[in-house]
Chains A and B, each alone.
Chain A
Amino acid sequence: MDSLVQVEALTMSYGSKLVQRDLNFDIRRGEVLAIIGGSGCGKSSLLRHLTGLQQPARGTVRYGAADINSEDPATVARLRRTFGISFQAGALWSSMTVGENVMLPMELFSNFTPAEREQRARDRLAQVDLADQFDTEPVALSGGMRKRAAIARALALDPELLFLDEPSAGLDPPTAARLDELILRLRVEQGATVVMVTHELASIFAVADRALFLDAETKTMTALDAPDELLAHGPEGVREFLRRGARA
């Protein structure tokens, strides 16, 4: 698989507080990469750095030749339109209905007619089991439903690269399993590359091709490999982390 994103010597910090340092890895086209690690180790921060929403203290995040943190705003905006991003709490636009949330990216960046936009939005919502919530206000959705609606919005423009922040956290097991199936289907049918931050170990073993482990103590990545391989031969801390999921 060829490399879609190259991360080199990435160091993340909040002011003087170091979050993670010297991260070096690539994201391969068509893979599902899980970013794992203990709470507060910087998983969501890494996602924000990968999408250029946060500037790194050092290092680069390259999409081909383009460094997302040093390109001009127009290039970054164009680049971002090839992403789909689902945030941890959904981040649905509260002044719009769920359907309008899913249709907005199409309205702004596609040539679909209003009828086509609506049909596609309904299809995307059906993919995440929210077909009947098209006209609902985001405030009326449960936390899990908001996450799924955010995933539907992230899928609106058939992105090449999908970033999901804790997609199945807080979902009931059958819904989480259906979400895993959806991720696998996206990879197989659309050739999408998926990067997901997750604590759900069952999901990691179900869908991830590789898992990147961020260590909260050493503040750097300590492992990157297939989850089964990490469970069998990874560093002790990573094995211990994953064993709980394997037993679950």
Chain B
Amino acid sequence: MSAAVPAPAEPRRSRAFLKKRPGWVTALGLRVRESFAEAQRTLLFIGEVALAFMALLRGKATLRWADVLWQIDQAGPRSVAIVSLVSGLVGVILAYMGAVQLQRFGAQSFIADLVTIGAVREVAALMTGIILAGRIGAAFAAQLGSMQANEEIDALRALGVDPIAFLVVPRVLALVLVAPLLTAFAALVACAAGWAVAAVIFGVPPIEYLYKSLQSLTLSHVLIGLGKGTVYCLLVALAGCRQGLHAGRSAQAVGEAVTASVVQAIIWIVIAASALTIALQRLGW
């Protein structure tokens, strides 16, 4: 019986794979040219989004608030659980690592300063951005990529509707509105986790921790943290929409767009985080 069943044929390689590969200089040149073209498309996309927002602000475009609210629901409340988990664990790591070092100098009561400033000013925004890159940015790319593959975006264009205004603006706006709330929540959870570690493991009196925590926190730390969270989430939304809207018309292309959106968002976030941290420190904020 087994002899009657033919062995599965080895998948045929595509002709493109069998083509002679170009030399490394040519390959490098082609790669550089493609990278420039990609960068140009990205800048063009960002410009189009900016123009769409300006048209909205000047009252020359309308916004479907139902779409914005739906996106807010997807990005905000539904992200709370994962943001809580990751921020809490990051708070634990921050407190534990800090406390171990500070304990050597008998200064474990400064865990509060370390965790509070670290979480509020830097870590909460960074973690929120990275979580949303995987959860929401990828979803944006998949939704818009599927719409592109199914000609749904062409159907909008054919109706005289600008896909940027109709599809991208509500998504970007939703994420920008949700970003400060999620960042604040992430900071709160990280601080609470740090407080638990300090109190339970390192014996820091809970009231002293809270007092030092509030003492170390300034308005500028809060505003900078919330501002960074908003910038990172804006980058996540732009990367997700950009990759989705320019995806090819196949299932594979949608998958590639999703991967590219997450990678691009994380790279943009890290670059923005470095630039903002250095710039803000230099400015003395």
Interface residues of A (CB under 8 A from B): 48, 51, 53, 73, 76-81, 83, 85, 87-89, 91-95, 104-105, 108-109, 150, 153
Contacts and interface: CB of A to CB of B under 8 A. Distances in A.
A94 B152 contact: yes
B151 A73 contact: no
B159 A80 contact: yes
B157 interface: yes
B261 interface: no
A80 B160 contact: yes
A87 B160 contact: no
A53 B157 contact: yes
14 contacts: A53-B157, A76-B160, A78-B160, A80-B160, A85-B155, A85-B159, A87-B155, A88-B151, A91-B154, A93-B147, A108-B159, A108-B161, A109-B159, A153-B155
Contacts of A48: 154
Nearest to A107: B64
A95 B158 CA distance: 18
A81 to B, nearest CB: 5
Interface string B109-145: 0000000000000000000000000000000000100
B151 A94 contact: no
A196 to B, nearest CB: 15
- Interface size range of chain B in the complex: 10 to 19
A80 B158 contact: yes
A92 B152 contact: yes
Interface of B: 143, 146-147, 150-152, 154-162
Contacts of B151: 87-89, 91
A77 B155 contact: no
A91 B150 contact: yes
Nearest to A74: B160
Contact of B150 (A51, A73, A79, A89): A89
B146 A94 contact: yes
B159 A81 contact: yes
A101 to B, nearest CB: 9
Nearest to A53: B154
A36 B151 CA distance: 22
A77 B160 contact: yes
B162 A77 contact: yes
A226 B78 CA distance: 59
A91 B152 contact: yes
A128 B244 CA distance: 32
A46 to B, nearest CB: 15
Contacts of A83: 158
Nearest to B150: A91
Nearest to B156: A93
A80 B162 CA distance: 12
A150 B161 CA distance: 17
B150 A81 contact: no
Contacts of B159: 80-81, 85, 104-105, 108-109
A150 B159 CA distance: 12
B83 to A, nearest CB: 25
A17 to B, nearest CB: 15
Contacts of B161: 77, 108
